[in-house]
Amino acid sequence: MKIFTIRAIAIKPTGKLLLARCTPGAIRALLRRSALDEAGEGFIDVLVKMLIVVVVGAVLLAIMRQAIPQVFTDMLTKIRDIFEL
């Protein structure tokens, strides 16, 4: 049986990267362990919440621009005046 040495990257619980030479069996075990690990479950939830907040904010901004256009034109004029040389 041939043993292939491959550089594998693993992340320790402390957040540090660990570079090691691994055999294919060790890589399979690492992949199996990471597939069963549920430590990153909250990332998708946070991403969806952030997306919802951005969409709702954009909709509210569009509604406010239609309802009170004078406020936004005054604000843009003041900002332009600040940055003019």
Domain edges within the chain: 6-36, 42-83
Q: Is the pLDDT of residue 20 over 70?
A: no
* Bigger pLDDT: 48 vs 16: 48
Does residue 21 carry a pLDDT above 70? no
pLDDT of 24: 72
Residues 6+ apart with CB under 8 A from 5: 21, 22, 23
Predicted pLDDT of residue 28: 77
| Burial degree of 27 (CB within 10 A; 0-12, 13-18, 19+) | middle
